[in-house]
Copies of this chain bind each other. A is one copy, B any other.
Amino acid sequence: MAKHDKSEGFVTEITPRSQDFSRWYLDVVRRAELADYTQVKGCMVIRPYGYAIWELIQQALDRRIKATGHVNAYFPLFIPNSLLMKEAEHVEGFAPQVAYVTHGGGEELEEKLVVRPTSEAIIGTKYHDWIQSWRDLPVLINQWANVVRWEKVTRPFLRTTEFLWQEGHTAHETEAEAEEETLKILELYRETMETELAMWVVTGRKSESEKFAGALRTYSLEALMGDGRALQAGTSHNLGQNFAKAFDVTFQARDKSVQHVWGTSWGVTTRLIGAVIMTHGDDSGLILPPRIAPYQVVIVPIPRGNWQETVLPKAREIQQQLVAGGVRVTLDDRDMYTPGWKFAEWELRGVPLRLEIGPRDIEKSSVLIARRDTREKLPVPMEGLVDRIRQLLDDVQRTLFDRAVRFREEHTHRVGDYETFKQTLEGRPGFVIAPWCGSADCEAQIKNDTQATIRNMPMNASTPSGHCIRCDSPAQAEAWFAKAY
C-alpha cells in the first residue's frame, strides 16, 4: 500500500485503483520501480525489477518460438529511407511515426536512415538474397530487438517512443502455409499469455481499417484491463505476397515456375508488462503471476529477541531449500525497516507469497505464509515446506487466471440494438459484442458515437444472422467492441 520515500524519509501512498485507475497505474510503475522517465521525450528506463519480469516473459516466449522450429537472428537498426518506401501501404502507415538519422561520423548522410519501426523492409531485402528454391522454404526467423515509433502521448510500457519486442518474419511456399503459420503463432501467443501471464485474451481477426500497414490480414489478441478498457496484447499478420512483391522475393517452385513467397510477421512487446499490471493489480499495488514473478517468495524474519542468531539462520536455511527446489526467493534481512513496512513494500511489488518466520514459528516448527492474491494467511509446517510452496504458487497462478476470466465474463455484454449498444458503451463496460455489416463507414460512425473500436472478430464465432448493429445491411461478422488503450 505504501512505499518508503528514500529522499524524504516518510511513507507515501499510492492512489487507490478505484479512485483513479490511470494515476494508480503510474504510481505502481514508479513505486514498484518497474520503470522510470528519462530526459528523452517518450523514452523510459526499464528498471531491474521491471526488466526481470520482461526476461521471464522473454524466456517463456523464446522457448515456445524455438520449439515450433523458429530461429533467432539480428537485422540492422537502420533502414535506408528508400527501402521503407517500397511497400505503399507500409510507408503510409509508418512514415508519420519514424525517426530519421541524417548525420553520422561528422557528415550529412547521402540518404537519411530510418530507425526501424518494424523490420519487414530490411528483412525483405535479405530474403531476396537468401531464398532461391522451394527447398529453402519455409524461412522461420525471429528477432528480439528495440524499435522506435514517434509517439505524441506516451505511457510507460503501454506506449513509448522506443520499446522492446520480438518480431517474427517468415516466408512460405503457399498461401495456405502462411495462413497456417499466422494462426499457429496467434495460438502460441494465446497459450503463453494464459499459462504464463494468467491473462485471458480473445483471439480474432482485425477489421480492414485496423490491420497492419501492408498486411493481407491481421489477427490480434485482446485482453481486458481492470478499468474495463481493452488492450491489444499481440498481433500476427498474414502479409500475403505484398512484401515479397515489393522486395522481389521469389523462388523456383516445385513445378519450376518462379513465384513470390508468402509472408507472415508477428510480434509482442514490453507492453505485456503493462497488461500484467492492469490485469492483476489492486489498491495495494502489483500482483504478479508466479510464473513471471522475479521473486515468487519473500522471506521476512520477525525480529524478536536475539533474532539474528536464532531466526535469521533458519530463514537462510529455508531460502537455500527453496533455491534448491527451483523457487525464486529473496530474504529481506534489512534491519532498518519493521516487518510491517516490509509487508507493505513487498505487497506493492506483487510478490505472490510472503513467508514470515519468528521465534514462535521456529518453536512450532512451522512458518506463516501470506498469499498476495487472496490475502489469506496460513501456517505451514517446515516439513514438506518446499512442495507446499510449489503447490501454493500453482494455486496463485490458477486463481489469478480464474479471476481474470471471471472479470472478463462479468464485463462482456451482447446487445441487439444500437441504442442499447450506445448506452452500454457509456463509461467503460468492457467488451460489447454486436453484429457488424463489415463496412468501414459503420465502424467509423460507431467510433464517433461511442469512442469504441472493433477489437477483433473472434476466430470461431459463427456468422450472425440479422443485421448490423448500426445499419440495415446484413451482418457479416460478430465483432467485439471496446474502448481501448
Contact = CB atoms under 8 A, between A and B. Distances in A.
A141 interface: yes
Contacts of A150: 104-106
A45 B72 contact: no
A141 B33 CA distance: 14
B39 A55 contact: no
A369 interface: no
A307 interface: no
A184 interface: no
A75 B122 CA distance: 25
Interface in A248-288: none
Contacts of A125: 38-39
B102 A74 contact: no
Interface string A19-46: 0000000000000000010111001111
A45 B103 contact: no
Contacts of A63: none
The number of times this chain is found in the oligomer is 2
Given A6-B132, A115-B115, A141-B48, A40 B105 contact: no
A441 to B, nearest CB: 28
Contacts of A122: 38-40
A339 to B, nearest CB: 19
A73 interface: yes
A152 interface: yes
A71 interface: yes
22 contacts: A36-B126, A36-B129, A38-B75, A38-B76, A39-B83, A39-B125, A40-B78, A40-B122, A43-B76, A43-B78, A50-B73, A51-B72, A54-B74, A55-B72, A77-B146, A77-B162, A99-B103, A100-B103, A100-B104, A102-B102, A103-B112, A105-B150
Given A7-B132, A44-B76, A106-B150, 10 more contacts: A46-B73, A46-B74, A48-B71, A74-B164, A77-B146, A77-B162, A99-B101, A99-B103, A99-B104, A135-B336
